[in-house]
Amino acid sequence: MKLGVYPGTFDPVTHGHTDIITRSLRVFDKVVVAVAPNPAKYPLFTLAERLDMVRLVMKDIDGVDVTSFEGLLVDYVERSGAHAIIRGLRAISDFEHEFQMALINRKLARNVETVFLMPSEEYSYLSSTIIKDVAKHGGSLTEFLHPEVARRLQERIRSVAL
Ligand code: ADP
């Protein structure tokens, strides 16, 4: 049973994340989506809200568990008995940061591998940050987000602007 952990902030979950999860299920028997609190990124949604949206989007996909974790990712990965960390690689801009994190994580835990997956081209420019910007300026979200996630994002942006 090959278990992979897909960590992230998921503020909010996009079709880019879903694409990576679907691809990772071709490599792993089971994938745990691990939502990080990440207060340093000042998320727009609380941890509970982000978890709820990932659960909603993943509800019909078999082999996916959704949870949150605190502290060092590699500690969580070792505790959960997972075989690898899954990360998505978009354009070249992701590479340096991801490379650095993978090597640090390898130093911290020799037996934990990081596996990178590339999304479909149509999502390779997509990020939660850009999506929040599109939402702020009233752009259409239908191609990038689950409809309920889009609705919650628009509602949150409106209430923050008030
Ligand atoms: P983090 O704060 O850990 O980067 P994110 O939620 O932004 O969390 O992203 C989680 C993971 O998903 C990262 O590996 C990121 O590169 C990847 N990811 C995010 N959006 C996409 C996308 N559109 N295509 C592929 N991978 C993505």
What are the structural domain ranges in the chain? 3-124
4 close to ligand 1 (CB < 6 Angstrom): no
- What is the pLDDT at residue 119? 96
- What is the pLDDT at residue 92? 77
78 close to ligand 1 (CB < 6 Angstrom): no
CATH class of the domain at 3-124: alpha beta
Q: Structure pTM?
A: 0.96
Distance between CA atoms of residues 85 and 116, nearest Å: 8
Q: How confident is the model at residue 93 (pLDDT cuts 50, 70, 90)?
A: confident
- Residue from 6, 17, 44 to probe ligand 1 pocket by mutation (most atoms less than 8 Å from CB): 17
- Residue from 18, 74, 90 to probe ligand 1 pocket by mutation (most atoms less than 8 Å from CB): 90
Distance between CA atoms of residues 158 and 90, nearest Å: 29
Task: Please write the tens of the pLDDT for every residue from 122-162.
Answer: 999 999 999 999 999 999 999 999 999 999 999 999 998 76
Task: Please write the tens of the pLDDT for every residue from 109-124.
Answer: 999 999 999 999 999 9
Residue-wise burial string across 56-71, b where 16 or more C-beta atoms lie within 10 A, e elsewhere: ebbeeeeebebebbee
Helix (H) / strand (E) containing 126: none
Least confident of 4-13, 86-95, 98-107: 86-95
Residues with Cβ within 8 Å of residue 123, at least 6 apart in sequence: 14, 15, 16, 19, 90, 144
109 backbone φψ class: left, alpha, beta (φ>0; ψ -120 to 50): beta
